[in-house]
Structure 1
Amino acid sequence: MSDRKKRGGAAGWLRPWWIVTLAAIAYLLAVTAAHGGDPLALATLGTRFSEGDPNGSEGYDGQFAYYIALDPLGGWQRCDVPAYRYQRILYPLLARLLALGQARLLPYTLPLVGLLALAAGTWLTERLLLRYRVSRWYALTYGLYAGQLMAVRLDLNEPLSQALVQGGVLSAERDRWPLSVALFALAALAKETALVFVAGYLLYLLARRRWRRLLAMALGVGLPFLAWQAALWAWLGRPGLGSGGAGATGWEILPFRGLWSVGAISLPVLGLLALVMVPLAVIPSLLSLWAAGRDLWKGRWHPLTAVLLTNALVLLFLPQSTYREPLAMLRLTIGLMAATILFGARKRSRRILNYTLLW
Structure 2
Amino acid sequence: MQGEGGAPAARAAVMVMVAFGLMTWLLASSLGGPGYFLQLGERSEALPLVREHLGPDIPVWSPIGHDGERFWSLARDPLLLEGQPLADQLDRPAYRAQRIAYPLLAAPWRAGGETALLWGLVITNVLVIGAGTYLTGGLAQARGTRSRFVPYAFALNPLVWLSFLFDLSDALALAGLVAAMWAIHRRRSDLVAVSSVVACLAKETSLLGLLVAAGAARGLPWRQRLALVLPGALAAAGWRAYVLTRPGFHEGGSVREFRLVAFSGYLDVWGHGFPDATDWVYLAVTLSILAFSGYVVALWWRDRRDLLLCASVPYALLTPFLAPVVIDVPINSVRVIGPAVTLVAVYLASRRVSPSRREGLATVGESQQP
Question: Quick one: distance in 1 between partners of 2:347 and 2:25?
Answer: 34
Aligned-pair Cα RMSD in Å: 3.0
Question: Quick one: distance in 2 between partners of 1:107 and 1:349?
Answer: 43
Counterpart for residue 51 of structure 1: 48
Question: Quick one: distance in 1 between partners of 2:342 and 2:20?
Answer: 18
Tell me if 1:315 matches 2:319. Answer: yes
Tell me if 1:141 matches 2:148. Answer: no
Counterpart for residue 290 of structure 2: 282
Mean Cα displacement is larger for which, 268-277 or 325-334? 268-277
What code does the residue aligned with 1:51 have? P
Report matched runs for 1:57-68 at 5 Å.
Answer: 57-68=63-74
Question: Quick one: distance in 2 between partners of 1:271 and 1:196?
Answer: 32
| Corresponding residue to 1:79 among 70, 73, 90 | 90
Percent identity, aligned pairs only, is: 25
Q: What is the CA-CA distance between 1:175 and the residue it aligns to?
A: 0.9
More helix per residue? 1
What do residues 306-352 of structure 1 show as CA deviations (whole Å, max 9, x unaligned)?
A: 112222112222222212212222333320102212322342379xx
Question: Quick one: distance in 2 between partners of 1:130 and 1:30?
Answer: 34
Confirm or deny: 8 A CA contact 2:67 2:168 kept in the other structure.
yes
Counterpart for residue 354 of structure 1: none
Question: Quick one: distance in 2 between partners of 1:34 and 1:303?
Answer: 43
Counterpart for residue 117 of structure 1: 128
Confirm or deny: 8 A CA contact 2:37 2:167 kept in the other structure.
yes
Report matched runs for 1:15-30 at 5 Å.
Answer: 15-30=11-26
Counterpart for residue 342 of structure 1: 346
Which structure 2 residue ranges, 5 or more long, are not aligned? 51-61, 355-370
Report matched runs for 1:1-359 at 5 Å.
Answer: 15-36=11-32, 38-48=33-43, 49=45, 50-51=47-48, 57-72=63-78, 73-74=81-82, 75-100=86-111, 102-134=113-145, 135-204=147-216, 210-235=221-246, 236-239=248-251, 248-266=255-273, 268=275, 273-279=282-288, 281-296=289-304, 301-348=305-352
Which structure 1 residue ranges, 5 or more long, are not aligned? 243-247, 351-359
Number of residue equivalences: 330
Confirm or deny: 8 A CA contact 1:24 1:149 kept in the other structure.
no
What code does the residue aligned with 2:325 have? S
Confirm or deny: 8 A CA contact 2:17 2:130 kept in the other structure.
yes
What do residues 19-57 of structure 1 show as CA deviations (whole Å, max 9, x unaligned)?
A: 322221222112101234x2122212334322289xx94
Q: What is the CA-CA distance between 1:203 and the residue it aligns to?
A: 2.2
Normalization by structure 2: what TM-score? Answer: 0.79
Q: What is the CA-CA distance between 1:180 and the residue it aligns to?
A: 0.5
Question: Quick one: distance in 1 between partners of 2:262 and 2:343?
Answer: 20
Normalization by structure 1: what TM-score? Answer: 0.81
What do residues 172-205 of structure 1 show as CA deviations (whole Å, max 9, x unaligned)?
A: 1111122212211111111112112212223226
Q: What is the CA-CA distance between 1:209 and the residue it aligns to?
A: 8.4
What code does the residue aligned with 1:273 have? Y
Question: Quick one: distance in 1 between partners of 2:178 and 2:91?
Answer: 30
